Chains A and B, each alone.
Chain A
């Protein structure tokens, strides 16, 4: 069975990042685009590694090298848990190719394991990207011996297993529950968002107030204790790496394998029923047909976009999570009160100034437009053969994204306005900045998707979670928000009068508006590749 799983895994994984297609394609345009994307990814990875290495060296410089093992292990674990939760269900229980596979002499468990291994592969690469620099920096700083290096190498192999298993278990549970419901996609997306926000709240719930008063030694101990508390397996890894003993690491491996085995046994029992239940749709068989009211072309397209949106749980959960966080963060800040947060971080008046950028950051995590073009997939022939101008199609996707943003934006702004009572320029910024960035995120998302469309996907995950367009759009929106927010914060704190900050804020917002208009103009004239 293991051999079959590995064969299947090879077939599934050989097109990871589109490498197999790139290898065999005769389309030079595709090669060029892939090269461009490769360079972009290389830049993102370089920046990520640069940030990681700089922060690790920073810890070494202030004498906190000891936290590096647990830092690496906990960061990878928590991120894998978060990121996998949103896609595991769709990868594991995907109906695509399942019918063909089930008709072959392949055990069901082999299909399950191959799909799990597919998830493991990408997470293994991510783990290596975090832990390898950690190993080198900690190894040199602490003068570590071979056991420590062995622990790190084993850590790279096994660190993804436990969070991946937990995320898979949770995702399976969500799929299992939602498959019994009438509105299964909606229920699934709602459960996914609730659990994701819950996990974020759980892992960000540490009280760091007391840390500033401690000595470096105590600080190190405090962080180790806190990371161990939010992610207990990391403590075993820490013990193994710092004390150079293999026993806790072996225990960790055994526990990971045991949890994985139990999950696979459970999933194997429920795999097919869940896949089948998710596939089933109710049929009415009635003779009465409501032909409905006439809609304009634009509204017909917007309605179609919304119907697709609410039929795809992965699409909903991945794009709505940022919007939910935007509204939830605003409500939370208003309920807790900005003063108590400012007292904790020791910076008076900061929350009301920076909240608009924070809200924009949450709301712009992933716009629907970054994947809505690619998601047309195999149905693309319809819009291409129907008399629909391309601009109208693009506008409908933008309109849908903005209509989706609107209620969350209104809740966020209303809650912040009521809770914090900002006045004058602060109120204007609270209203304008999130709105401008939400529009910007929608436009840049669409632009990125038109630049990097992918129609030949087998599973929506390939577009929504792994798509080049979503990565580019997310990265670009974040960079622009950080630059605008950073410029505003610098002006606000460097100059004594509020005028400087307000001027900088107005200028950066104006630049973002101009950039949005420019991108929209380019999009309006863009022809989609065939």
Chain B
């Protein structure tokens, strides 16, 4: 009987968690879009999303996925810009990366943390990374900073 009581307690008691409550709450708000948009920003955190196809576990999966997360962030930043229609994609990309050479997205970044790692079918692994916005800042370039008139407004 005591055994049963103990395990009833163990399995159904309220729980506390290792993650900060604030992070959990903010993650809940963005989790439905992160896989689609590959980046999300909440009040206190940046969320990056990277994927890797596992060909070989000798490779550093987290490192490769992190590199992919930064690429995804670049794409997200690229898509924020209202590009003039007369530019072809190749030119847009050149302009964009030339700008980033001088004005990187991150002034500084530290404490990137793996928030969630998910194995998907077909050997795909998705990793969600989190940065706190207190110690990190992303400078998303805007259309005017790239020297164009924002015709999307």
* A is bound by B: no
Binding site for A on B (CB under 8 A): none
